[in-house]
Structure 1
């Protein structure tokens, strides 16, 4: 092999091409996704720079950071040059980004439409590979006063106990509740169990004077609203 065709390690790159130096010199916004991940990785291997390794990892997720956010430590560790410590660094950094996005929605938010509820709950469902059931709790002005995880399941489903749902909502002095769960399969269509559970919860809410306003099903970046479809 021609020695000039061999890839150079980051330490031998021109200073402007090194991710860390490039960040210091030009600011973080001038770095590509691969360069930012390369900083987390720190070093590549004898045959591959950290940036090239990062490009390979991104390519496996179609260069989609949302998809990368769903990758486990075990999956990342399968890449040559990525040990457990480096994989943990990547997963931790992506989780911080997710939490930052979630934190931006902590100001008083009024729910006027299903899209508002979707925006408020999307961060908790964004990177899940299993099913979870959450409730969004509102006061009488339709302002969000809290959200709570009711149950966690596997790929096929999770159990939402009505007693737990209404006990949680009443403890928070909620006036209204919005139900939400995700379908890891990506299928937005509600199952018979989803429809029956929603009907039972709506009726129970009426008795307790704690109205169920909507039930959202999340699938990737899309959602299904029982309210919008006239099912509540």
Structure 2
């Protein structure tokens, strides 16, 4: 039996179907985008829900599966979001990933005065945005001047969820490309697993890179391991 398209029952709930006070778009127009909760922002990205479930409920459930944390949600691969969240298909998942990536790129474009490293906490604060939410391992170096001002930060290698391979020759070739303005470096890599403790391989690599730097008159000041919940510093622990 045919039904009029204006009265047909939909299998999903649009934002427009919600009560006026629950419509994120109207709320944003009235009070500004910052007035919206994380779930309401995600609801705007998704646009519609699914049969028997509003888009706001869908968004709240998605957040709850990430402990209510956007940072944890941002680390999840698109395929995992689709697989573990009924009602969220490729279009919604990719739109969400695109919105998160745009936010991160916007943050990175803001010009900042070159910071100065004063200890492990300043290294962590500078690099956590780039490394904390990764679901694979990356190894970076931070290049410093004689006054420990940050000249640049360079990704040396990318690996899987448990390890990444670092070639000391490639690492120091990158350092030497900057000339004699580099006086010291800080080593960094991340542990997506959340384990803050260095592995025996981390210790071996740190010693190797420190010895290599000494031959070039470049000090290795620290090796910082970044995790989703914090960091480990070789310098703070007297291991470098």
TM-score norm. by structure 2 comes to 0.88
2:163 maps to 157
Within 2, Cα distance between the matches of 1:168 and 1:48? 53
Question: Residue 155 of structure 1 contacts residue 184 of structure 1 at CA under 8 Å; is this kept in 2?
Answer: yes
Partner residue of 1:217 out of 204, 219, 225: 225
Instruction: Decide which moves more: 170-179 or 50-59.
Output: 170-179
Question: Residue 102 of structure 1 contacts residue 123 of structure 1 at CA under 8 Å; is this kept in 2?
Answer: no
Within 2, Cα distance between the matches of 1:48 and 1:122? 36
Deviation at 1:26, TM superposition (A): 1.0
Within 2, Cα distance between the matches of 1:103 and 1:114? 24
- Equivalenced residues, count: 226
Unaligned ranges ≥5, structure 2? 1-11
3-state secondary structure, aligned to 2:25: helix
Question: Residue 13 of structure 2 contacts residue 50 of structure 2 at CA under 8 Å; is this kept in 1?
Answer: no
Deviation at 1:201, TM superposition (A): 0.9
Deviation at 1:137, TM superposition (A): 0.8
Deviation at 1:182, TM superposition (A): 1.1
Deviation at 1:127, TM superposition (A): 1.3
Unaligned ranges ≥5, structure 1? 1-6
Deviation at 1:68, TM superposition (A): 0.6
Deviation at 1:211, TM superposition (A): 1.1
1:120 maps to 126
Within 1, Cα distance between the matches of 2:117 and 2:138? 21
Within 1, Cα distance between the matches of 2:144 and 2:126? 12
Instruction: Please state if 1:133 is matched with 2:139.
Output: yes
Question: Residue 69 of structure 1 contacts residue 127 of structure 1 at CA under 8 Å; is this kept in 2?
Answer: yes
1:200 maps to 208
Cα deviation digits, residues 74-125 of structure 1 (max 9, x gap) = 1222333322111111111112223344445743100011111111111121
1:181 maps to 189
RMSD of the TM alignment (CA)?
1.8
